[in-house]
Amino acid sequence: MGHIVNADREYRLLQKRLDRNVTGAPDSPVFMKILKLLFSPEDAEMARQIPSQPISLNALSRRLKIPRDELGDKITDLGRRGIVLDLEYKGKRLVCLTPVVIGFFEFTFMRTRDELPMAELARLFEQYMSQDDRFSHAIFGGQTQIGRSLVREEALPDGDHTEILDWERASHIVKTATAVGVSLCACRHKAEHLGKQCEAPQEVCMTFNYGATTMVRSGLARPISNSEGMALLEKAKKAGLAQTGDNIQRKVTYICNCCGCCCGMMQAIRDFDIRGAIVTSNWLMVIDRDKCTGCGKCAKACPVKAIDYDEVRHDGKKKRKAVRDEGLCLGCGVCYSACKSGAIRMEPRPQRVYTPETVFDQRVAMAIERGKLADLIFDTPERLSHRALGRVLGVIEKSPPFKVAMAIKPLRSAFLNSVVKKAKGFAGDMADTVG
């Protein structure tokens, strides 16, 4: 990398690069300040040339024209700082640029950092994420999301008719993970630097499988055993935290233990009424009015304020009874644990919720919904054919819905399946491993 003459230009280009991710990064003066605190101009120049999909260190070395060993040292440094993901798979070193979420926001606050102005970064991230709804809509503006609610298994009815699949069980995810790591909750750690943290424990957010291996390798998490992970899960439940997991079925990479006051996903629901920011579980809370005492514990426990009260006549008297907003209920079961009168039960939703099988499937679905399929497929746009096809896809994605619907089917059959197959072939079975 040469000497940076116009540093601001590099930051502007990096912002545009990050905004092309399926979870975007809208431009703002506040975001530019964040980038300047986390990236040097040289970092920004390098980072904007790294794909969001894993690329081998050898291929990246050729692209950047930096000797492999020299580049390896740089990537190690960037990985430890949370700017890139530094992966190892079957002896091959892979690199990808982290988005803002889930990415360098979390990696900044998942641990204590003496070398960064954490209080200033907390203030800037809070302003960037909360000053208007642009950032939240960039992240959550679709049906497919990065996180899904995990129901508390103890809240489910007994009996053989109760159907809950393994990937819906937090306990199964923790017990069967090939590796487990634990980090600070980035959201509550940020709130601590703002002087408004809640009393919930911080070191309870877990990563699993290749995600845990990567986080531990870069110093972003500490390794723990599966049994220690189960103990942390129970600790989080007792603290009234809701479990939000990776929105995929295979090789889940994380479970966050979330509070409504600090969690960014839940704040998007509460502050901007983006009700689909977290995909619900396949369960829904139901209130038995006869048993409800109107004590208020369930409403206080609900992290997204999906429970309120109304006055009803019961046994000839006016009494306060809980009422649920079905459109807000995550199906997490936190209210079940809070209710001491046995008035809450969990029932299956009328229609099962769609959950992508792998990370690859999740990203493609998110890209289609957010109009970024071209950016996802053509993450390496050096070749003219890629640019040309990217422009065609870009036009289709910006067309009216009925035209998109007409175009998607032939694309899927004649083009998209071929592209996906080639993409998976290019990455070997890495697509399945990281998914």
CA–CA separation, 219 and 80 (whole Å)? 6
Asked if residue 286 belongs to a domain, the reply is: no
* 243 contacts 114 by C-beta, under 8 angstroms: no
Q: What is the mean pLDDT of residues 321-345?
A: 96
Rounded distance, CA 427 to CA 254, Å? 23
Contact in structure between 278 and 330 (CB atoms under 8 Å): yes
* pTM for the full predicted model: 0.87
Q: Check pLDDT > 80 for residue 237.
A: yes
Closest residue by Cα to residue 54 from 74, 34, 75:
75
pLDDT at 424: 47
Please write the tens of the pLDDT for every residue from 171-204: 999 999 999 999 999 999 999 999 998 999 999 9
Measured between alpha carbons, how far is 211 from 325 in angstroms, rounded to an integer? 35
Residue the block writes with tokens 């079940």: 336
Looking at the fold, whether 117 and 156 belong to one and the same domain comes out as no
The beta strands (E) that lie in 108-252 are given as 147-150, 180-183, 205-208, 222-224, 242-246
CB atoms within 10 A of CB 202: 20
Which range of residues forms the domain containing residue 363?
359-433
Shared-domain flag, residues 126 and 150: no
Same domain (yes/no): 128, 169: no
Q: Do residues 253 and 245 touch, judged by C-beta distance below 8 A? A: no
Residue 170 lies in a domain: yes
Same domain, 192 and 245: yes
User: Would you say residue 73 lies in a domain?
Assistant: yes
Which is it for the CA torsion 22, 405, 432, 381, positive or negative? negative
Give the C-alpha separation, 365 to 148, whole Å.
15
Q: Among 281, 314, 335, which residue terminates a domain? A: 281
Alpha-carbon distance values, 233 to 23, 265, 398 (Å):
28, 19, 43
Question: Which region among 162-176, 229-243, 316-330, 396-410 has the lowest average model confidence (pLDDT)?
Answer: 396-410
153 lies in some domain? yes
- Average pLDDT of 260-272? 95
Spatial separation of the C-alpha atoms in residues 119 and 102, rounded to whole Å? 20
Phi, psi of 392 (to 5 degrees): -60, -50
Are 93 and 158 within one domain?
no
Taking the C-alpha atoms of residue 224 and residue 142, their distance in angstroms, rounded to an integer, is 34
What does the pLDDT look like over 109-156, one tens digit per residue? 999 999 999 999 999 999 999 988 999 999 998 889 999 999 999 999
- pLDDT at position 389: 59
Q: Does residue 167 form part of some domain? A: yes
Give residue 38's pLDDT band: very low, low, confident or very high (50, 70, 90): very high
**Total number of domains in the chain:** 3
* Structural domain includes residue 308: no
Same domain, 148 and 268: yes
Residue written as tokens 């072939």? 425
* Residue 59 region by backbone torsions, left for phi larger than 0, else alpha for psi between -120 and 50, else beta: alpha
Highest mean predicted confidence (pLDDT) among 208-212, 388-392, 410-414: 208-212
Contacts of 432 (CB under 8 A, 6+ apart): 250, 358, 360, 424
Measure CA 281 to chain center.
16
Residue 426 makes CB contacts below 8 A (sequence gap 6+) with none
Higher local confidence (pLDDT), 359 or 371: 359
The region, left, alpha or beta by phi > 0 then psi within -120 to 50, assigned to residue 353 is beta
Q: Which of 218, 215, 263, 210 is nearest to 236 (CA)?
A: 263
Which of 39-43, 81-85, 163-167, 332-336 is the least confident region? 163-167
Is residue 353 assigned to a domain? Answer: no
- Which residues, at least 6 apart from 261, have a Cβ–Cβ distance to it below 8 Å? 191, 198
Residue where one domain finishes, among candidates 256, 281, 306: 281
Which of 41-45, 172-176, 177-181, 384-388 has the weakest average pLDDT? 384-388
Answer yes or no: is 407 within a domain.
yes
Q: Which residue has the tokens 């506040």?
A: 30
User: Where does a domain end: 104, 132, 160?
Assistant: 132
* Averaged pLDDT of the chain: 87
Q: State the CB neighbour count (10 A cutoff) for residue 279.
A: 22
Counting residues of the chain whose pLDDT is more than 70, the rounded percentage is: 85
